[in-house]
Amino acid sequence: MREEDAILLECLEDVYHTFEKALKKAQKVRSIHVRKFEQILDELRSERRVFEDISIPARLIVEQLLESRFRVGQVALEAEYLRQPFTGVEAVKVEEFGIIRIKLGEVEVTWRDGNYSYYLYPDKVELRAKDEKSAIKLFFSIPFNRQSLERFPEIRTSPNVVYIHPQLETWMKGER
């Protein structure tokens, strides 16, 4: 684990334990705010799983989706018979057992990290089920950038990654 990841994880743990303690106090109160505290705890667990429970390529994708969400980028989706044009990222969540759930507009898609292989391109990602029976394509209006890829050089050797576009490969190596 990288030093910056360890720092972020430690910060998440601190906030989580503080909220957990507060929620125990608030359980005696009948208020919608208690439900909101529970929701925040759930979101903090999801954030922690980004660092602990998913592969490096899945993490790159999750971070790209979060980048799109917070920088007002858009993502399009193709999955079997489902087509979603470019829309905003409403939610990104990592659940137990490496299950990644994303909501694009009104469409929600879920996949289990360990069951998919990744094909990485500058402005899209293709996730193919290991049994090759299904695939999910995510298209990004904000393409991957050199800085985000340089943070994950181990993607090149990840067993989950089948293909990396030559431009991305060059950036991961730190070449110009």
- The architecture in CATH of the region 56-173 reads 3-Layer(aba) Sandwich (3.40)
More confident residue, 170 or 76: 76
71 token code pair: 């920088």
Does the global pTM surpass 0.85? yes
Q: What confidence tens digit (pLDDT) does each residue in 117-154 have?
A: 999 999 999 999 998 888 999 999 999 988 888 888 88
Model confidence at 74, pLDDT cuts 50, 70, 90, reads very high
Instruction: Check residue 1 and give its pLDDT.
Output: 66
Vertex 80, ends 74 and 83: CA angle to 5°?
35
Average pLDDT over every residue of 87-106: 95
- Give the Cα separation of 102 and 16 in Å (integer): 22
